[in-house]
Amino acid sequence: MKKLIDVYPYKIVESKVQFLVFKRSSKKIYAGQWRMIGGKVQPEETSWEAGLRELREETGLKPAKFWTIPSVNQFYEHKSDMIHAIPAFAAQISENAQIELDDEHTDFMWISANDAAEYLKWPEQQRLMKLVDEILTNDIQEILPEWIIEI
């Protein structure tokens, strides 16, 4: 069984959260779709280590803060007849970070959580992006210490 991860890179500009999304290459799965970072967990790594690796491979970035989103991306895949429960991570990126795309992507842009449905076609990814936004902007909610991954 393949283990997968999702990563939602974001930056905060003037108290507003912006999420980094990527346009998939025509030669890759999900060709031409806008997506966040996703990937497979290698046998020798944990899910959170895979998230950091995928972020580095796909953007050249190391996050200022990396934390577990307190929910999972869950969906059914008919080809394998499996239900996937994918750990999701949020990665705070510095405001002026330079993005270095790999060959999996042809473009990137920063969007708000309100724009998620316009770009992300998977409802669970839209939901997780909105959850991260809510955690970061809601006065009642906060990133709990237990969610933060020391890197």
Q: How far is CA 22 from CA 51, 91, 103, 145, 147, in A?
A: 16, 15, 11, 29, 25
pLDDT-above-90 percentage for the chain: 72
pLDDT of residue 71: 96
Q: What is the CATH number of the domain that holds 80?
A: 3.90.79.10
Structural domain count, the chain: 1
User: For the segment 31-72, what is each residue's pLDDT rounded down to a tens digit?
Assistant: 777 989 999 999 999 999 999 999 999 999 999 999 999 999
pLDDT at position 139, please?
Answer: 75
**Where are the strands (E) in 1-151, listed by range?**
4-13, 16-24, 34-35, 37-40, 65-77, 82-92, 105-111
Residue among 40, 37, 49, 42 at smallest CA distance from 99:
37
What's residue 54's pLDDT?
95
Residue 39: phi, psi to the nearest 5? 180, 180
pLDDT band at 1 (very low <50, low <70, confident <90, very high): low
Range of the structural domain that residue 103 is part of? 4-147
pTM assigned to the model = 0.92
